[in-house]
Amino acid sequence: MKEEYASYLSFLRYCVDDSAVPPPCVSSIDWDKLYIFARQQTVEATFWHGIERLDRSGVIRLGEETVLNWMARVKKVERNNRITYKKAAWVWKNFMKEGFRSCVLKGQGNSLLYPTPYMRTSGDIDIWVEGGDEKVIAYVDSIVPGFRRIYHHIEFIKAGKVPIEVHYRPSWMSNPLHNMRLQRWFIDHSDACFSNKVEEFGFCVPTFEFNCIYLLAHFYTHLLREGVGLRHVVDYYHLLRRNVSQPRPTEKELRRLGLHKVAQALMWVLHEYLGADSEWLLCQPDERLGRLLTREILEGGNFGKWDERALGGTPHSALQRNLRVAKRDWQLVRYFPSECLTEPLFRLYHFYWRLRHRPPKRAKKS
């Protein structure tokens, strides 16, 4: 690992834990480079939270331009969060009016886990809607036909400038046995999520038990297909920290769902670099898998967008995307064989699924 990355991770540990003391590396950090790194990993406000604590203690003094750049970015993160919270509530209420129970996944649901609900860099609105793919897709097509649909979600109209993805499945696995078990598990825990309303923000969010499995499956999917960044890791850190007294999924359950190896990797990173207490963890960490995950996070950045190993950078065509996934399968198969070996089969199945759910043509404007 590069020395500067080691410093950034050491400082990140201080940033997420208000009881931690400043690490020795703060005297040697290049704050302008850290700002670029934070942007690539989409954790700008989390690092700024630590910088503010350092500044109050008089440990560091940042240059005026650096401070202004960082403050402007953090203000934008906060402003976007406020907008996205309002839009998420609007989307949730409209689905309720149409008779669909739903809950807001990831994004704004995860933001509520942070020290303040405006620290996490927001993205689109992911909402899980009850009813299954046939019913949900038919409803979306009745509003505006022709939106892109894949195995777990369909794109929808934008709420202002915020994209919406309507999920009929929260996530998925390539391995057919694990995927069948995972989809059954989601259904079995759906009632609790569809009734877990956060009154302050006006929408339902997943329960802690649900998020332990769902965020892990989501993390796994992105790790294998494109890449993950520190934002995913910080999300899971806050999930575990905010629910210390809650029972965790058992290792037997993680193995049954095919999530044990990725859980071991993530637990190692959380414990080694963010200082997560052993009592928080879902399972025994694995150093070999944890170091692999650390390398993927640092080299790829958020969703692998900064990964110089990728084929031709960010893929734009279906062929490029498939080649990139195939390359990652080859790179990671010895670590995660269950998913990597079955991914080509899932891709074939997904091709026929998309043919079956081909969108109707939009009517031409006269």
- pLDDT tens for 7-41 read 999 999 999 999 999 899 888 899 999 999 999 99
Instruction: Give which of 9, 30, 7, 22 is closest to 52, Cα–Cα.
Output: 22
Tell me the two tokens of residue 58.
């008089």
- pLDDT tens for 168-217 read 999 999 999 999 999 999 999 999 999 999 999 999 999 999 999 999 99
Cβ–Cβ contacts within 10 Å for residue 277, how many? Answer: 11
Coil, helix or strand at residue 129: strand
Which residues does 35 contact at the CB level (< 8 Å), separation at least 6?
44, 47, 66, 69, 70, 73
> Which runs of E-coded beta strand occur in 264-340?
none
> Mean of the pLDDT values across residues 87-113?
95
Is the pLDDT assigned to residue 351 strictly greater than 70?
yes
Which residues does 36 contact at the CB level (< 8 Å), separation at least 6?
none
> Which runs of E-coded beta strand occur in 141-213?
153-159, 162-167, 197-198, 203-204
Residue 175 to residue 186: CA distance in whole angstroms = 16
Cα→Cα distances 327→229, 243, 307, 334, 340, Å: 19, 37, 13, 13, 10
> Mean of the pLDDT values across residues 269-286?
96
Q: Are 345 and 174 in contact (CB under 8 A)?
A: yes
Cβ–Cβ contacts within 10 Å for residue 84, how many? Answer: 22
Query: Given this model, what pLDDT does residue 312 score?
Result: 45
> Which runs of E-coded beta strand occur in the chain?
102-105, 125-129, 153-159, 162-167, 197-198, 203-204
More confident residue, 1 or 23: 23
Cβ–Cβ contacts within 10 Å for residue 279, how many? Answer: 9
Q: Report the percent of the chain where pLDDT is more than 90.
A: 73
Read off the pLDDT band of 256 (50, 70, 90).
Answer: very high
Q: Where are the alpha helices (DSSP H) in 189-279?
A: 190-194, 208-225, 230-242, 251-256, 260-273
Query: Given this model, what pLDDT does residue 189 score?
Result: 97
Q: How far is CA 348 from the centre of its chain?
A: 25
Is the pLDDT assigned to residue 360 strictly greater than 60?
yes
Is the pLDDT assigned to residue 246 strictly greater than 70?
yes
One-letter amino acid for residue 286 of the chain: D
Read off the pLDDT band of 311 (50, 70, 90).
Answer: very low
Is the pLDDT assigned to residue 313 strictly greater than 60?
no
Q: Are 101 and 194 in contact (CB under 8 A)?
A: yes
What integer best gives the mean pLDDT of the chain?
90
Query: Given this model, what pLDDT does residue 58 score?
Result: 58
Residue 73 to residue 67: CA distance in whole angstroms = 10
Cα→Cα distances 155→126, 161, 303, Å: 10, 14, 19
Residue 229 to residue 300: CA distance in whole angstroms = 7
> Mean of the pLDDT values across residues 250-278?
97
Q: Are 62 and 32 in contact (CB under 8 A)?
A: no
